[in-house]
Amino acid sequence: MSARIVLLLPEVLGTYGDAGNAAVLAARLRWRGIDAHVHTVGWDDAVPEGGDVYVLGGGEDAAQMLAVERLRGSAGLRRALDRGAPTLAVCAGLQILGRAFTVADGTWVPGLGMLDVETTPGRGARRIGDVTADPLLDGLDELLVGFENHGGVTTLGADAAPLARVRGAGAGNGTGDRIEGAVGGRGGSIVGTYFHGPVLARNPALADLLLTRALGTLPPLEVPEGLPSSTARRLGARFRGLNAAVRRRAGA
Ligand code: GLN
């Protein structure tokens, strides 16, 4: 049995390197000795309904309009989201899963209706830059960091909860209330964010939260001494081998 991370349409939702989120999820399982692979759903492929975690990335307005039409009729995706499969949706991915979005040229597009959010074009310049945000999601304690780049402004409906509150500079959802991201769907299984990075490489605690939701409690990754904890978590179990090699070379 191999855990399956389903990466959706990276040809059109891959502009910002968000495919890296799927790689991070699979790597963090493998580092724990759990077999895992990334199932990439290309343009002509059916979406499997039995994946463990689903990942959507960001893209330009035109690309996300293609993506939403491609996914609209997908029974596999609908079944997966209806059963509450843990899902990460970044930027355009977040907008696509919502009720509707309007792109910069004014075109209104119905979304997949899985997440109670709606997106409209924001005024003024695109929201671009590094952001930090305090998480508001149960099970997540560490400051979230990411890089936002979006024109759309996303408003949460009653059935969606904020993911985080922006600290300092940064727009988050762009509604002026410092809210970042959205959590919703069955049992809050969909986590939407404006953070690229890829976000899971920069926020391993969020990666582990999604994995735990999918697979239950996971063995901890060894956190080495003397390294920034974020670096240590990114390296995970590989640190042990590296650490031993470095010590051998130093004659320690
Ligand atoms: N095209 C969308 C926007 O500009 C999403 C951008 C993105 O995915 N980074 O709001």
Token readout for 56 is 């959507």
pLDDT > 80? residue 54: yes
Q: What is the pLDDT of residue 235?
A: 66
Give 105 Cα–ligand 1 centroid separation in angstroms: 13
Q: What is the pLDDT of residue 243?
A: 62
pLDDT > 60? residue 252: no
The per-residue pLDDT for range 114-155, each reduced to its tens digit, is: 999 999 999 999 999 999 999 999 999 999 999 999 999 999
Q: What is the pLDDT of residue 75?
A: 98
**Spelled out in words, what is the top-level CATH class assigned to the domain 2-219?**
alpha beta
Neighbours of 158 (CB within 10 A): 7
How much of the chain, in percent, has pLDDT values that exceed 70? Answer: 88
Q: What is the pLDDT of residue 244?
A: 65
36, 29 contact by CB (below 8 A): yes
The per-residue pLDDT for range 219-250, each reduced to its tens digit, is: 988 655 566 666 666 666 666 666 666 666 66
User: Measured between alpha carbons, how far is 95 from 162 in angstroms, rounded to an integer?
Assistant: 14
> Residue 97 — pLDDT band, cuts 50, 70, 90?
very high
Q: Which atom of ligand 1 is nearest to the CA of 93?
A: 8
The per-residue pLDDT for range 27-38, each reduced to its tens digit, is: 999 989 999 999
Give 73 Cα–ligand 1 centroid separation in angstroms: 22
- Give me the mean pLDDT over the 51-77 stretch: 98
Q: Is the CB of 146 under 6 A from ligand 1?
A: no
The per-residue pLDDT for range 159-208, each reduced to its tens digit, is: 999 999 999 989 999 999 999 999 999 999 999 999 999 999 999 999 99
Q: pTM of the predicted model, to two decimals? A: 0.90
Give 150 Cα–ligand 1 centroid separation in angstroms: 4
